[in-house]
Amino acid sequence: MNKEKQNSEDRDSSIPPDHLDLVLKASILCTILSRSRMFWASET
């Protein structure tokens, strides 16, 4: 059980912070895009 916890922590720390920031920005962009697409769909 402790071994699994260590593995997950290692996996988390192996991801560079700037990569996490990119993923966050990408997800925010996707959300905005999907919302605007729904907005345009409702407009027509």
What is the Cα–Cα distance from 23 to 7, expressed in whole angstroms?
22
* Host H or E run for residue 29: helix 17-43
pLDDT at 6 (0 to 100):
59
pLDDT at 44 (0 to 100):
65
Cα-based distances in Å from 1 to 5, 6, 8, 10, 43: 7, 9, 11, 14, 53
The residue whose two tokens read 């260590």 is 6
pLDDT at 30 (0 to 100):
94
Q: What is the pLDDT along the chain (44 residues), one digit of tens a residue?
A: 556 565 555 555 676 778 889 999 999 999 999 999 888 888 76
pLDDT at 11 (0 to 100):
58
pLDDT at 1 (0 to 100):
53
